[in-house]
Amino acid sequence: MSSVIYTQIPRCARDLLDQIAAFPVADLHEALGAIEGRMRLLSPRMRPIGVSQRAVGQAVTSYNYPGDNLMIHAALKVAQRGDMLVLVNGGVSQGALWGDVATTFAMEKGIAGVVADGPVRDTDAVRSMGFNVWSTIVSPAHPEKRGPGSVNIPVVCDGVLIEPGDIIAADDDGVLVIPVRLAAETAARARRRNETEQEVRKQIRAGKTLFEIMNIQKYVDAADIAVVDGVCPGLAGGQR
């Protein structure tokens, strides 16, 4: 495929992004379901460089040749306020994809955050600016600006397919990809899950145990797990 920069992504309604932003990644992950949720959750390698990070926005993707970051500048040019930049270079450690100067410009433009499958640098400075960055690698490795590369094409980021315009939800727990076609249903499920958890908390404060509230006994029974009212044999004071 030839290098190409697409200047536009499929856009969704702002209120849909706001609905997604109302919930943490954990609730959204569960709301996607067992299959979609696992397929679209980036691995624990993708970590926030700061604390209390949280961002939601549509993906502007940037594929960079290993050791090069030319295309992150093209992505910065075409991205709009509230977008999330998704930067990839195949996950190699050569050539920092992000740093403090790019952060300064991104903040001026109103970019929501960056997800980088590859190295970022100037992390102290970026943290001090309060900008949201998640990455798989931290390294000061020098980047070239020669290309090839592309912007706003489908990319694989930390093992997950991300298409331009997909909704990226990220917080201190991790990074999740939500296709726009699933966003409304995911938000509705997350809302119901949140309401259920609020009710559970009320019951806990009323004195009930999680074992009771969640009816854990039925899972114990289904797994045919024995319950012995005693100490494990072989321990001091245990059964003989």
Overall fold of domain 14-182: Glucose Oxidase; domain 1 (3.50.30)
The pLDDT value given to residue 234: 83
What is the biggest distance separating any 2 CA atoms in the chain, rounded to whole angstroms? 74
The pLDDT value given to residue 237: 61
Tell me if 144 sits within 8 A of 68, measured CB to CB: yes
The pLDDT value given to residue 239: 52
Q: What is the DSSP code string of 163-226?
A: -TT-EEEEETTEEEEE-HHHHHHHHHHHHHHHHHHHHHHHHHHTT--HHHHTTHHHHHHHTT--
- What are the sequence ranges of the domains in the chain? 14-182
The b/e string for 93-113 (b: 16+ C-beta within 10 A; e otherwise) is ebbbbbbbebbeebeeeebbb
Which tokens belong to 3? 């290098």
- What contacts 123, CB < 8 A, 6 or more positions away? 49, 133, 138
pLDDT digits (tens, 9 = 90+) for 1-44: 689 999 999 999 999 999 999 999 999 999 999 999 999 999 99
The pLDDT value given to residue 54: 98
Residues 150, 63: Cα–Cα separation, whole Å: 5
The pLDDT value given to residue 84: 98
Tell me if 152 sits within 8 A of 8, measured CB to CB: yes
pTM of the model as a whole: 0.91
Q: What is the pLDDT along the chain (240 residues), one digit of tens a residue?
A: 689 999 999 999 999 999 999 999 999 999 999 999 999 999 999 999 999 999 999 999 999 999 999 999 999 999 999 999 999 999 999 999 999 999 999 999 999 999 999 999 999 999 999 999 999 999 999 999 999 999 999 999 999 999 999 999 999 999 999 999 999 999 999 999 999 989 999 999 999 999 998 899 999 999 999 999 999 888 876 555
Which tokens belong to 7? 């200047």
Bond into 24 cis (ω within 30)? no
Q: Which of 214, 189, 213, 161 is nearest to 30 (CA)?
A: 189
